[in-house]
Amino acid sequence: MATFEQRGAAWRAKVRVRGANLARTFDTYDEALAWARAQEAKLLAGARVQDGQAAFLSVADLMRRYAEEVSPGKRGERWEVVRLTMMLRDASFGTALRDYGPEQVADWRDSRLKIVSAATVNRELNLLSAVFTTAIKDWRIGLQANPVRLTSRPKNPPARKRRVSDDEIAAIRGALGWDGTTKPDTSSQWVAWMHAFAVETAMRRGEIMGMTWRRAHLKAAYVELLDGEEKGRAGQTKTGRGRLVPLSQRALALLKMVGEGDADAPIVPIPAGTADALFRRAVKAAKLDDLHFHDSRREATTRIAPKVGNPMDLAKITGHRDHRQLMDYYAPDATELAKKLG
C-alpha cells in the first residue's frame, strides 16, 4: 500500500502491492496521493481476485449475501437492507469481481453525487466497504484489496447547527393540536408529546418510541436504554451501547402525564412511519420548513450542558462516544456565551 514522506517542500510517494515497489517525488501531497492511488489501481487490476469461486461472483452477489447473512445481526437491519436493495438497482454492481476496482467505485460515486448529497454517498460507501471487508475477512472470497478504501471520499457538508426556539416548539405543538398539559389522545398529539420530551432529554426519536414502562424509572428519575446485546428489544440505542438518561422535572411531568401502562408496552403507541409523516406535516403547517425532529437533540444538548458542566457527564446523558461529535450538538449562540462572561 501507499506511504508518503515529506522531503523539504516536496512529497515522495511509495507504493507496495503484491511484491511490486514503486516510488516517485511530487511537488504537492495531493499530486503524490493521486499518483499513488492510480498505481495501486493498476497493480491490483487483473489480480484483484484469486482463482476459485470468486472468479464467478459479481459485486451484486456479495451485496445480496451480506443483506441475507450479515444485516439481520444488526439493529439497523431494515434500513441497511433497504439501502442495499436500492443500490442493487445500479447495473454497475453486476460487474464481475475480477473486473471491479477503485475506478469502478469512483464512477459510481460520481454518478450518485449528481443525484444525492455527499453525506448520503459517504453512507453508501461505508456500507459497500463493509460488504467487501466481510467478503475478505469472513468469507475468504479471495479479494486482494477493498476497492472502496482505494477511492477518495466526497467531503461532507458542514455539521447542522439548527436549534429549536420556545416559540417554534409552541408552534409545532399547536400544529399538532396538543395543549402541552393533558395526556395525548390522537397520533398527532403523541408526536407533539414526543417532541417536547426530546427537547428535555436529548433522546432520539427512535429511542423515545422504543421506551417501555419497564425501563422508565420514575422514582429514580431516569430512563434505561438497552445495549446491543438485547437486539430487537424496545428501547435500544442507535449505537448499540446502552445508557441511563436522567429526567428533568419537566420530563418526569411528561411521563406522569401519560400514566403508567403494561411493563412491556411502548409508552408511545404509534408507528414510526406515522410519527414521521405527522411531524413533517406539522412543520409545513407551522411554516418551519427547515426544521427536523432531530434538531430537538441539539437543542436539548445545548440546554442541558450548562446544568451539568462536565463534558463527560453531558456525553453520558446524550450517548456520544466521540467528544468532537458532541461539539456539533452543543451549539450556544454568542449572546448565551456573553452572559456567562458577565
| Measured distance CA(201)–CA(142) in Å, rounded | 48
Residue 113's pLDDT is what? 94
Residue 310's pLDDT is what? 84
Most confident stretch, 152-161, 170-179, 229-238: 170-179
- The β-bridge partners of 222 are 217, 246
How does pLDDT run across 97-118, given as a tens digit for each residue?
A: 888 999 999 999 999 999 999 9
Please say whether the beta carbons of 148 and 129 come within 8 A: yes
pLDDT > 70? residue 216: yes
3-state secondary structure 202-222: CCCHHHHHCCEHHHEECCCCE
Residue 18's pLDDT is what? 52
Q: What is the mean pLDDT of the chain?
A: 86
How does pLDDT run across 219-264, given as a tens digit for each residue?
A: 999 999 875 433 444 444 455 567 899 999 999 999 999 987 788 8
| Measured distance CA(19)–CA(68) in Å, rounded | 36
pLDDT > 90? residue 36: no
Residue 174's pLDDT is what? 96
| Measured distance CA(100)–CA(147) in Å, rounded | 8
Residue 45's pLDDT is what? 53
For the segment 181-190, the average pLDDT, to the nearest whole number, is 96
pLDDT > 80? residue 70: yes
| Measured distance CA(296)–CA(120) in Å, rounded | 22
How confident is residue 311, by pLDDT bands cut at 50, 70 and 90?
A: confident
| Measured distance CA(223)–CA(226) in Å, rounded | 10
Burial of 137 from C-beta contacts in 10 A (0-12 / 13-18 / 19+): exposed
Residue 85's pLDDT is what? 95
H/E stretch holding 246:
strand 243-246
Higher pLDDT, 115 or 52: 115
Residue 51's pLDDT is what? 44
Going along the chain from its start, the domains and CATH numbers come out as 45-150 (1.10.150), 166-341 (1.10.443.10)
Burial of 92 from C-beta contacts in 10 A (0-12 / 13-18 / 19+): middle
pLDDT > 70? residue 160: yes
Higher pLDDT, 165 or 76: 165
For the segment 263-276, the average pLDDT, to the nearest whole number, is 91
- Quote the cell numbers at residue 22: 514503486
Give start and end residues of each alpha helix (H) in the chain: 29-44, 59-69, 77-87, 102-113, 118-137, 166-175, 187-201, 205-209, 249-258, 272-285, 295-308, 311-318, 323-329, 334-341
Residue 232's pLDDT is what? 41
Residue 39's pLDDT is what? 73
For the segment 172-177, the average pLDDT, to the nearest whole number, is 96
Please say whether the beta carbons of 83 and 127 come within 8 A: yes
Of 116-130, 154-168, 182-196, 279-293, the least confident: 154-168
